[in-house]
Amino acid sequence: MAKVKYRFNAHTLSYDKIVISFKTRVKRFLAVSSTTLATSILIAFGILQFYESPRMRILHKENERLLTQYELMYKDLGTIEKVLDEIEQRDNNLYRVIFESDPIPSTIRKAGFGGVNRYSKLESFDNSDLVIKTAEKIDILSKEAYIQAKSYDDVMKMAMNKEELVAGMPAIMPISNKSLKSTASGWGYRIHPIYKIKQFHYGMDFTANIGTPIYATGDGVVKDVQSIGGGFGKFVIIDHGFGYETLYGHMSDFKVKKGDKVKRGSVIGLVGNSGTSTGPHVHYEVHKNGEPVNPQYYYFKDLNAQEYEKMVKISSNIGQTFD
């Protein structure tokens, strides 16, 4: 039972009973409740600031564990990156060299990702720098691994075609020259016999009597046969595949026509003196991927080490002219 309260009335000199209205009671209740709630919130906030709940402690430990895992993952990715770099170097400098294939440029292997920010959704996370670096490295390594896998597919195809490559590669001299006496002029700067100026000679010359057989130096398909070839006179071009082509100039006659398939050692024409030439000989060039290369590197089916060394000395005589 609620306690009845009184107050002294100075006018009547008596005690009046205190009556509290419902509205006043509600106001007092709300005021007390609000104060209590605010105090409770402040106390709870203070406790959370200085004391972790069991749930918060679990989440905090989980966050630390994940951060440690990210750091270890980033470190492991660095190790994987080194291994992948070694594989790429071996691929470019060993496997592709063996199969006469150009290396994959680093601009392709190491190409980044353009366009929009791929990692904007990760920027809101705690430790976002580490998370973004890890995600970025995973993407880059994934791309490099994909390119390397495709490269190994190419190497596998080249290995399966190795026999065809070896057969097509220019590997003998274009005329019979076992004694090396027919070697006239080699790769490099020479004095032009007609213009008497120093010019670069993009091939090798082999002297022989008119009518001497000229041989295809590797398997291939006759790409071109020209009767009026300017300075080369009558000449033949053979496409050997795998980026190799050979040219045979100053012929007197042809033994093949455009589109013919030839084998290494097949007679494709006869030595002549056509075009810009001062004597019977064959001008021989080797091209790899559209660029002329020194033919002396491609006589491994004809010459042993001593013969090769002798041939290089003869062809390197700077005092000789060409054509």
Q: What is the pLDDT along the chain (323 residues), one digit of tens a residue?
A: 556 666 666 777 676 666 667 677 777 777 777 777 777 777 766 666 666 667 777 777 777 777 777 777 878 888 888 888 888 888 887 777 777 677 888 888 877 665 556 666 666 666 677 777 788 888 888 888 888 888 888 888 777 778 888 889 999 999 988 777 777 777 777 766 666 667 788 899 999 999 999 999 999 999 999 988 678 999 999 999 989 999 999 999 999 999 999 999 999 999 999 988 888 999 999 999 899 999 988 888 888 878 878 877 777 664 455 45
- The CA-atom distances, in angstroms, between 196 and each of 188, 199, 322 are 15, 9, 10
Q: Which pLDDT does position 113 carry in this prediction?
A: 61
Q: Which pLDDT does position 251 carry in this prediction?
A: 96
Distance separating alpha carbons of residues 80 and 115, to the nearest angstrom = 26
Please compute, for residue 211, the number of CA atoms within 13 A of its CA located in the half-sphere on the CB side.
Answer: 0
Return the structure tokens found at 138. Answer: 């995973």
Task: Give 149's contacts (C-beta < 8 A, 6+ positions apart).
Answer: none
Helix, strand, or coil (residue 128): helix
Task: Give 173's contacts (C-beta < 8 A, 6+ positions apart).
Answer: 206, 215, 217, 284, 299, 302
CA quadruple 26, 28, 34, 36: dihedral, nearest 10: -120
Q: Which residues pair with 239 in a beta bridge?
A: 221, 245
Q: Which pLDDT does position 196 carry in this prediction?
A: 65
- Beta-strand ranges (E) seen in 114-231 are 183-185, 188-191, 198-201, 204-207, 213-215, 220-226
Q: Which pLDDT does position 223 carry in this prediction?
A: 97
Return the structure tokens found at 245. Answer: 């082509």
Beta carbons of 123 and 66 less than 8 angstroms apart: no
Question: Residue 280 gets which letter from DSSP?
Answer: S
Distance separating alpha carbons of residues 190 and 317, to the nearest angstrom = 9
